[in-house]
Structure formats: C-alpha cells, structure tokens
C-alpha cells in the first residue's frame, strides 16, 4: 500500500490571527509520519459557527474517498462541539477516513481503542446536549419569573404591516384567496393576520 493521502486543516477564530504556526507544525508532523499531503485548507471562523466552507470541502473529499487522513493540531480546531465532533467522526468512519490530532491521537473507529473513545465521546455529547437543554429551560423560567414576555408580541410579525389592507378587504367580503392574490401574499399569511386581529 502506498502513502496515505492527507489533508491539513487549520482554523483560527479571528481575523487578527493566522494559521501559519498550525500549518507548519502539521506539515512537519505529516513528514515524520510519512503522509503525502495533498492539500492544505485554512479557515477563519469561530468554533461555534457552522459556516465553515473549507471544512465542508474536506468532508466532500473524504466522502469521495479522495483522502485517507485529516490532520489537525487539536480536536477543537475541527469540531464545533462534542456533538459535532462525534457526528463528523461517524461520517469519516463510514468513508474510511481518519482524523488525527498533532498529538498523535488517532480516531480510527475500526479499532477497539477508537470505538471506546467514540463511545465515551458520544456519552459526553449526550451529556452536553442535556446540560444545554437544562440551561435553556432554566433561563426561560427565570425570565418568566422576572415578568419577561417570551415570544413575539402582536405587531412584531413582519406581515402585520399589511394588516390594515388585509382587514379592510376581508371586511368588504373578499375571501382569503382573493386578498392574498391582490396583495401578493400567501393565503396562510392572510389567515394569520385575520386570526391575530379577531
């Protein structure tokens, strides 16, 4: 079997940072490990955001079986959260692609060690989801207790600017469909305006 085809993925969170150190470290790591680097992708994006076009390009390469290994300096550069990391590892496993952190930690889910790590991570991901759900519920309860009105109040719907015309036409005996056609709205929008103003 020939050299494994590797891609380097480097990410920083803000525009005042750059990926040079990560790329240099990963190139040296790839040389030591004997990988053939077939591409380097750099990205500037917050770890919490899903807008990561370069990562998506790498995943497309993995799915097309054009690479064998993805190299990152640390797992936080790749995964947005524990849930995201577990999901992407499962996808990579299905495509027979490994994610390797510079520390040498390899996530090859075909091995007993990889399966164990994935199981622990899946449990942590579920715990993370439960904690987030609990924090959201707690925050909503606290806001309600302070008298905060949750959800949109009347007048905050974008369609409410059409309400006077819609109501006038409906009062004149026009059907929802006719009003919707005349004002270039959907029938559902007309019905929602009517219902909010009963």
The domain spans of the chain are 5-123, 158-196
Distance CA 104, CA 33 (A): 10
State yes or no: is 13 an active-site residue: yes
What is the residue-wise DSSP string for 87-155?
Answer: HHHHHHHHTT-EEEETTS-EE-TTSHHHHHHHHHHHHHHHHHHHHHHHHHHHHHHHHHHTTPPPSPPTT
CATH (residue range 5-123): 3.40.50.1390
- Out of 13, 98, 138, 186, pick the active-site residue: 13
Of these ranges, 23-27, 131-135, 164-168, the one predicted with the greatest mean pLDDT is: 23-27
Tokens 């004002």, residue located:
183
Taking CA atoms, 11 is separated from 43, 55, 88, 140, in Å, by: 5, 9, 16, 34
Distance CA 127, CA 133 (A): 10
pTM of the model: 0.59
Distance CA 174, CA 32 (A): 76
Distance CA 7, CA 57 (A): 11
Half-sphere exposure of 78 (CA within 13 A, CB side): 26
Element (H, E) at 41: strand 36-44
Looking at the predicted structure, is the pLDDT value of residue 60 above 90?
Answer: yes
pLDDT band (50, 70, 90) for residue 50:
low
> Higher-confidence residue: 157 or 54?
54
């Amino acid at each position: 079997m020939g050299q494994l085809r590797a891609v380097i993925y480097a990410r920083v969170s803000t525009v005042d940072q750059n990926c040079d150190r990560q790329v240099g470290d990963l190139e040296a790591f790839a040389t030591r490990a004997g990988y053939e680097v077939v591409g380097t992708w750099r990205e500037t994006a917050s770890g919490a955001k899903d807008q990561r076009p370069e990562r998506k390009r790498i995943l497309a390469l993995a799915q097309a079986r054009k690479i064998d290994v993805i190299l990152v300096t640390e797992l936080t550069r790749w995964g947005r959260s524990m849930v995201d990391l577990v999901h992407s590892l499962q996808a990579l496993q299905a495509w027979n692609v490994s994610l390797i952190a510079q520390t040498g930690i390899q996530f090859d889910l075909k091995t007993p060690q990889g399966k164990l790590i994935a199981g622990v991570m899946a449990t942590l991901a579920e715990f993370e989801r439960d904690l987030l759900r609990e924090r959201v519920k707690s925050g909503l309860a606290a806001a309600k207790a302070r008298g905060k009105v949750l959800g949109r109040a009347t007048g905050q719907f974008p369609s409410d600017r059409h309400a006077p015309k819609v109501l006038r036409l409906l009062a004149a005996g026009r059907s929802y469909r006719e009003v919707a056609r005349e004002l270039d709205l959907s029938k559902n929008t007309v019905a929602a305006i009517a219902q909010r103003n009963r």
